[in-house]
Amino acid sequence: MIEKTQVTVIGSGPAGLTAARYLGESDLQYVLISKESEPGASKVCGGFVPQPALKEFKIENFSGAHEIYGARLRFPGFPPRDIWFEDAVGVNAKRSDLGKALEEKLNPSNGIMKLGAAVTSVECNRDGCVVDYSFNGKTSQVESDLVIDASGSHPVSCKHDGIRSYLSDTETGYGFQYQASYRTDEWEFPRLNYFYFGSEYSPRGYAWIYPRAKTAAVGTGGLLNTVRERNTALPQHLDRLLNEETPNQDYSSYLHIVKREGALVPLAGVVTPSYGKRLLLAGDAAAHCSPISGEGIYFAMTAGKLAAETVEECCKKNDFTTQKLESYERRWQRAFGSDLKWGRRIQRRFMGTSSGESSSKFLESEDVLRKVAEMLLGLKSVRSAILGCLPSYIKSRLAFWQ
């Protein structure tokens, strides 16, 4: 069977669903194809959505959202320190709950959803695009003017002579995570997201705890090349973290590990090109993910919206040339390219040492920790956090040399 539409969207993550939302609002017809039967259900993710994303995309108070009010930070040589904010800084949620919230924003009259379908090939040329997929045991085809590929860190459109090659092991992270549920109502994690840095918790990355109402995502990771070189037993890092953060240093009495999971995460910074012949990449497919925290939901939603806006302009002018599609790349670089660029620099500087250890005095400052927390929680840009911390950092280095 051959279907015809204006735009084919591949993937039902935040980038794909947001692109579909704004395509529908522009009265553009689309077909969304996703291997997931339920958006987000199989995605390995901590599930933190920063407050700016909730407000911008009007998804506050969705079912399953658990408000977070700050961060617990631990750096080598320092005890854990809590940074609280007066208002919620965002929410933690299961990706399936976020998927439902984003799906509810879609206009069903403008699009067709093909959930549980596997894309087998993507071909785009000067005349149009053809996407082959398997659905309910049958092979089908969609013809469209444009494709938005938001299929994840290994985009399906890049399997055969795509826009770009796959990222290297030094540009890709590996995250290992527990999905845990509470065994008791007498204890729970505070409403803080945990960020633990140092070799006790991660191979040159960081470990995290993202609490939710009845569950928590607990993970660790680092750059793929380091994880492979060290052959580190990642579960041991998580067991240590959880024992430290639960009463009596025995998490088994308080938490039940429901699931163990792992996934690749693009941590390459700015990756170009993100467009080609009648094709745009968005979200993880375009490496739209923070090189510091691995958070990518806000970037993905922003990229999905910008991709839809670019497509709308192309359709109005009947101009699908790569020169026209280039404006998409300029848009997302203006929106969050600086965070990707500076995040990559910080990653190389502070996570590239043999142990990740640091005894710098500037981390003793409450003001510095608050700026770091704002950056990790997506409240401030990476560049503004760097500039805010710079005076304290310079002062600490001068004191060291004196």
- pTM > 0.85: yes
72-97 mean pLDDT: 97
pLDDT value, residue 231? 67
Give the HSE-up count for residue 398: Cα atoms under 13 Å, Cβ half-sphere: 6
In the chain, residues under CATH classification 3.30.9.10 are 63-93+169-266
pLDDT value, residue 397? 58
151: Cβ contacts below 8 Å, ≥ 6 apart: 10, 11, 16, 35, 119, 157, 285
- A 10 A CB-CB count for 52 gives 16
Phi-psi region of 20 (alpha: psi -120 to 50; beta: other; left: phi over 0): alpha
Q: How far apart are CA 346 and CA 342, in angstroms?
A: 6
Phi, psi at 236, each rounded to 5°:
-65, -35
Q: Which residues of 144-171 are buried (b: 16+ CB within 10 A; e: fewer)?
A: bbbbbbbbbbebbbbeeebbbeebeeeb
In the chain, residues under CATH classification 3.50.50.60 are 2-46+96-167+268-349
Contact 11, 20 (CB under 8 A): no
Nearest to 297 by CA among 97, 10, 154, 33: 97
324-347 mean pLDDT: 97
pLDDT value, residue 356? 42
Q: How far apart are CA 207 and CA 71, in angstroms?
A: 13
Of the options 3.40.50.10540, 3.30.9.10, 3.40.630.30, 3.60.40.10, the CATH number for the domain spanning 63-93+169-266:
3.30.9.10
| Residue 71 tokens, joined | 């961060």
- Residue range 2-46+96-167+268-349 in CATH 3.40.50.150: no
pLDDT in tens, 163-217: 888 899 999 999 999 999 999 999 999 999 999 999 999 988 899 999 999 999 9
pLDDT value, residue 230? 76
**DSSP type of residue 148:** E
pLDDT in tens, 46-77: 999 999 999 999 999 999 999 999 999 999 98
pLDDT value, residue 85? 98
pLDDT in tens, 232-287: 789 999 999 999 999 999 999 999 999 999 999 999 999 999 999 999 999 999 99
